Amino acid sequence: MSPQTTSTATAAQVTPPSEWQQFVSAFLKNKGATAGLLILVLMVLASALAPWIAPYDPNILHSGKEQLPPLLFGGTSEFIFGTDDAGRDTLSRILHGSRYSLLIGLASTLTAMVCGVALGLMAAFWPKTLGKVIMLVNDILMSYPGLLLAIIIAAILGPSMTNTVLAISLVCMPPFIRITRATALVELQKDYVTAARVMGAGLPRLMLITVLPNCMGPLIVQATMIFSTAILEAGAIGFLGLGVQPPSAEWGAMLGNARQYIQSNVWMAVFPGLAIFIAALSINLTGDGLRDALDPKLKQVS
């Protein structure tokens, strides 16, 4: 082997892993986060493929087969999860309901994140004027219980999927404002921001290209936590009849419909409740893994 080949091989051996490789390696070391991400991916795939993998149309009524028990409790293989009070297949409605629940959670999280980041950046760049007003309103919103405030807003706006997204987005916005403002204020004191200003960078460039990318780590972690919170709040709003309206299948609405049968046919409430629980748990586990992978110091402290 020539000396040049040996030096090339040695250089290849000592090449440090990239930031992406370090992130993936740190994330995969967390077994709970890996399992959570896997479950979440399976739920998203089931949601996307629901029209093809669901055994029945979620709104079709099977006459004479109302409130059938699931296969586990003595039912038939025709309806693995049983049927509801109208004779609709529970498994099909769970699969189609994931589309509404996950879509509401995702849309609410993205809306809250975009608006919260924008307001947080404005509060950081104009701390003595606009920042005081934004943080005052933000503190007022955070002083109310989030779920209660979301229910009140949804009740005022009226029952619909769009109003549910708006209500949850407004409630989930304050954490994004706080994190963005706090992180941006720290970044504004660093030398690279001063250098960008000296070089003539305009305000939009400073906010969106110079400062914002360095604030994304904690924001991504917060978004995963808000995602699970949004799904839980969407379920609560749907349970009260203020969200997606019948006959559309949505996990919270399915729970609300099953509450009157919970003592006689408990399985009608078990499966939609279990779906909400698994979705929220998998997202929280994924968020914990993202936190540890993006900021190893937090893992060492915890």
- Residues 136-180 have pLDDT tens digits of 999 998 888 888 899 999 999 988 899 999 999 999 999 999 999
Task: Let me know how long the chain is.
Answer: 302
What is the rounded average pLDDT of the residues 190-216?
86
**Is pLDDT larger for residue 71 or for residue 41?**
41
Residue pLDDT, tens place only, 220-246: 889 999 999 999 999 999 998 888 888
pLDDT band at 204 (very low <50, low <70, confident <90, very high): confident
For the segment 287-293, the average pLDDT, to the nearest whole number, is: 84
Looking at residues 108-125, what average pLDDT do you find? Answer: 94
Cα–Cα distance for residue pair 62/56, rounded to 1 Å: 10
Q: What pLDDT sits at residue 210?
A: 87
- Cβ–Cβ < 8 Å for 18, 265: no
Closest CA to 94 of 276, 297, 287, 288: 276
Location of structure tokens 């949601």: 47
pTM, two decimals, is 0.87
Within 8 A by CB and 6+ apart from 197, the residues are 206
Separation of alpha carbons 94 and 101, rounded Å: 10
Q: What are the distances in angstroms from CA 173 to CA 94, 130, 150, 229, 235?
A: 29, 17, 12, 12, 19
